[in-house]
């Protein structure tokens, strides 16, 4: 009788077409993703919302178009004598207004995610604790760039000419992104405190409308009553608009830029820790 020796599965040759597990080797685990990687992933998630919530993209595109066209052609001749002169004054201001208004969507998106229970899942993930909020900011920056590019394109078609050229325009857009980043923290706090997205939007625009329209975005404050002009001159939105006009016309001074950046920097420094505290508390 012929002896048959049983072969161990661990030492037997692999079947044709199957990988040889004996060739596998142990490799170190990949390093955990850092804060920047986490923020970019959540930022891409915010961008994908445009596909699933297309009405946000409609608001993003149509609102700045309507504001630019209506104010230029309805009020331009009465306020500046001609639509061309008014457009030179008005367009940098409408850029600031659009970025400030778009910041409300940060709080609305956050409130929606809380309603759906997504943040309960985020808490269980081994990620940077502020990554969901940083992702909202990344999505906001894209919205600001899209809206700002649309407004500038319409302005160029209508006759607006930035005297500082490409360099001044790029500097102005960098300031716009800084403004949007700082203002976004206000509405993220609202999104953490308020239960429904519609309430966030209502409260947000209740705050923004007086601050935005009582500024130098649309008219020169020299024609305003003394008590209102005193407020307009120190209004952060007015300071931002003045600096943006200076950057796009090539006349901005260092003091104008510094004054415009005070509010975004202070809001970021003050509210980012509050956001983290509210998130952990909630």
Which has more confidence, 259 or 146? Answer: 259
Give the total residue count for the chain: 282
pLDDT in tens, 194-220: 888 889 989 999 989 999 999 999 888
Dump the DSSP string for 89-137. Answer: HHHHHHHHHHHHHHTHHHHHHHHHHHHTTHHHHHHTSSS-TTHHHHHHH
Which has more confidence, 48 or 21? Answer: 48
Structural domain of 120: 35-281
**Residue 275 binned pLDDT confidence (cut-offs 50, 70, 90):** confident
**Residue 247 binned pLDDT confidence (cut-offs 50, 70, 90):** very high
Domain for residue 135, yes or no?
yes
Give the pLDDT score at 5: 46
Domain for residue 11, yes or no?
no
Domain for residue 122, yes or no?
yes
Mean per-residue pLDDT, 164-187:
92
Q: Is the dihedral of CA 106, 112, 115, 118 positive or negative?
A: negative
Domain for residue 211, yes or no?
yes
Domain for residue 4, yes or no?
no
Domain for residue 15, yes or no?
no
Give the pLDDT score at 15: 61
Mean pLDDT of the chain: 84
Contact 73, 154 (CB under 8 A): no
Give the pLDDT score at 19: 57
pLDDT in tens, 60-77: 778 888 888 888 888 888
Contact 229, 222 (CB under 8 A): yes
What is d(CA 144, CA 175) in angstroms, rounded to the nearest whole number?
11
Domain for residue 91, yes or no?
yes
Number of domains in the chain: 1
pLDDT in tens, 120-158: 788 788 888 778 877 888 888 888 898 899 899 999 999
**Residue 2 binned pLDDT confidence (cut-offs 50, 70, 90):** very low
pLDDT in tens, 72-121: 888 888 877 788 889 999 999 999 999 999 888 888 888 888 888 887 78
Give the pLDDT score at 17: 58
For 171-177, the CB contacts below 8 A with 24+ separation are 171/247, 172/92, 172/95, 172/244, 172/247, 172/248, 173/145, 173/148, 175/240, 175/243, 175/244, 175/247, 175/257, 175/260, 175/261, 176/95, 176/96, 176/99, 176/144, 176/148, 176/244, 177/141, 177/144, 177/145
Domain for residue 8, yes or no?
no
């Amino acid at each position: 009788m012929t002896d048959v020796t049983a072969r161990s599965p661990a030492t037997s040759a692999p079947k044709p077409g199957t990988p040889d597990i004996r060739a596998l080797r142990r490799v170190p685990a990949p390093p955990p993703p850092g804060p920047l990687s986490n923020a970019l992933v959540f930022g891409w998630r915010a961008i994908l919302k445009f596909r699933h919530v297309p009405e946000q993209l409609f608001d993003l595109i149509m609102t700045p178009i309507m504001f630019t066209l209506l104010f230029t052609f309805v009020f331009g001749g009465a306020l500046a004598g001609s639509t061309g002169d008014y457009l030179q004054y008005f367009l940098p201001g409408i850029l600031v207004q659009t970025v400030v208004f778009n910041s409300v969507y940060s709080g609305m998106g956050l409130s929606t995610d809380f309603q759906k229970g997504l943040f309960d899942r985020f808490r269980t993930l081994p990620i940077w604790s502020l990554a969901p909020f940083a992702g909202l900011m990344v999505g906001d920056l894209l919205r600001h760039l899209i809206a700002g590019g649309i407004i500038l394109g319409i302005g160029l078609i209508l006759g607006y000419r930035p005297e500082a050229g490409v360099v001044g325009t790029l500097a102005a857009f960098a300031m716009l992104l800084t403004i949007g980043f700082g203002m976004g923290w206000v509405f993220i706090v609202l999104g953490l405190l308020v239960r429904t997205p519609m309430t966030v939007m209502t409260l947000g625009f209740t705050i923004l409308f007086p601050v935005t329209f009582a500024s130098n975005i649309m008219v020169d404050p020299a024609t305003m009553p003394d008590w209102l002009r005193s407020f307009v001159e120190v209004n952060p939105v007015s300071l931002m608009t003045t600096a943006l006009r200076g950057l796009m016309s090539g006349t901005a001074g260092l003091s104008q830029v510094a004054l415009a950046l005070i509010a975004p920097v202070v809001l970021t420094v003050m509210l980012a820790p509050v956001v983290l505290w509210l998130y952990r508390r909630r």
